[in-house]
């Protein structure tokens, strides 16, 4: 059913999604308004595919073929003209997403499915600005996309069952495990993950334990690959804050109120890995975890 797929947005998630579609044989239109971002994305995809070649999970020839299946565009109408599916992975901003979906609805073939990788914005709301709400669905990949097995599939209020089935089957073709959920704030992944991260930040804020202790308890005690504070840095503290606000507003429940320390860090532009500092400090090329000066004992 799917041969050609458009991915909107060439940031971390967009390039990861383009990577896996190309790896499993699909032709990909990677679309971003910023041409430099597209060049950086192609370089990142090559680097990540080279990691797979180095460990033997991809051959050199398959890598070359996969990489050449990705074609870049700076305009939506050009990039989506002949696709069967669009996966939108633009910045997590509702006004931007609504604008993109209006444009996609006008430019993509009437039969195309329009999916969004949103981590928390309502699928039903996004679908409402299109003339095809039954073909709008959430296809939520996890970071790093080439590594993480889950695809959280979110049914909007009007999503047609055959669309859910098609996206579920497609996820399996990418060697991923689909999990189908309904459209309520935070879906499942972030409804559970973000309160855990917020509670870890509260534990730090209230002086119950330090950064390393909190992360070590969860890594060694619960077998999490990263502690919740390191994971918050990895996701982006601004993203965590905005998802907590969606939960707080969507449920009207103060239990989701973001910790004041998280709010302060985002205001101070300490956003985690992408800004070079969050709960830890990051030096490009170094894997060493260094606690940020403000949190050192």
Q: Kindly list the catalytic residues.
A: 119, 140, 152, 190
Site membership for ligand CAA, residue 235 (CB under 6 A) = yes
Any alpha helices (H) in the chain, and if so which ranges? Answer: 12-23, 35-54, 60-68, 76-80, 94-107, 123-127, 161-173, 189-205, 211-222, 228-235, 237-251, 260-267
Exposure of 226 by Cβ count < 10 A (0-12 exposed, 13-18 middle, 19+ buried)?
middle
Map residues 203-232 to x or -, x wherever contact with ligand CAA holds by CB under 6 A.
Answer: ----------------------xx----x-
| 119 belongs to the binding site for ligand CAA (CB under 6 A) | yes
- For the segment 53-82, give every residue that binds ligand CAA (CB under 6 A): 55
The residue among 225 and 284 lying less far from ligand CAA, judged by its C-beta, is: 225
Q: How far is the CB of 89 from ligand CAA (least distance, A)?
A: 11
How far apart are alpha carbons 89 and 77 in whole angstroms?
16
Q: Does 30 bind ligand CAA (CB under 6 A)?
A: no
- Told to check if 138 binds ligand CAA by CB under 6 A, we report no
Q: Does 143 bind ligand CAA (CB under 6 A)?
A: yes
User: Which lies closer to ligand CAA via its Cβ, residue 57 or residue 74?
Assistant: 57
Rounded Cα distance between 264 and 241, Å, is 10
Determine if 237 is a binding residue for ligand CAA (CB under 6 A): no
Which residues in 159-198 contact ligand CAA (CB under 6 A)?
Answer: 189-190
Q: Which of 46, 104, 98 is nearest to 79 (CA)?
A: 104
The DSSP 8-state label assigned to residue 144 in this structure reads: S
Query: Which span (83-91, 141-149, 212-220, 264-272) binds ligand CAA, by CB under 6 A?
Result: 141-149
Distance from C-alpha of 134 to C-alpha of 166, rounded to nearest angstrom:
13
215 neighbors 228 (Cβ within 8 angstroms)? yes
Residue nearest to ligand CAA (CB): 119
Q: Which phi and psi angles does 286 have, rounded to 5°?
A: -105, 135
Binding site for ligand CAA (CB under 6 A): 48, 51-52, 55, 119, 142-144, 146-148, 189-190, 225-226, 231, 235
């Amino acid at each position: 059913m799917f041969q050609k797929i458009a991915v909107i947005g060439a940031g971390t998630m967009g390039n990861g999604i383009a990577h896996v579609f190309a790896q499993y044989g699909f032709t990909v239109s990677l679309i971003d308004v910023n041409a430099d971002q597209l060049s950086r994305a192609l370089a990142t995809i090559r680097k990540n595919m080279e990691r797979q070649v180095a460990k033997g999970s991809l051959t050199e020839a398959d890598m070359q073929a996969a990489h050449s299946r990705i074609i870049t565009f700076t305009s939506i109408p050009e990039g989506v003209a002949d696709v069967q599916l669009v996966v939108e992975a633009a910045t997590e901003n509702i006004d931007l997403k609504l604008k993109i979906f209006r444009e996609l609805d006008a430019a993509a073939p009437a039969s195309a499915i329009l999916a969004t990788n949103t981590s928390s914005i309502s699928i039903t709301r996004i679908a409402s600005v299109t003339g095809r709400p039954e073909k709008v669905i959430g296809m939520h990949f996890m970071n790093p996309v080439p590594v993480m097995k889950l695809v959280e599939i979110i049914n909007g209020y009007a999503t047609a069952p055959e669309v859910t089935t098609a996206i579920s089957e497609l996820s399996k073709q990418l060697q991923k495990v689909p999990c189908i959920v309904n459209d309520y704030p935070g879906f499942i992944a972030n409804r559970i993950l973000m309160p855990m991260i917020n509670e870890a930040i509260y534990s730090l804020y209230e002086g119950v334990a330090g950064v390393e202790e909190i992360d070590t308890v969860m890594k060694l005690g619960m077998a999490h690959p990263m502690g919740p504070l390191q994971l918050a840095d990895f996701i982006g503290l601004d993203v965590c804050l905005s998802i907590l606000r969606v939960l707080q507003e969507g449920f009207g429940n103060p239990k989701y109120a973001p910790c004041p320390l998280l709010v302060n860090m985002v205001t101070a532009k300490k956003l985690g890995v992408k800004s070079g500092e969050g709960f830890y400090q990051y030096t490009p090329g170094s894997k060493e975890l260094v606690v940020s000066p403000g949190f050192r004992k």
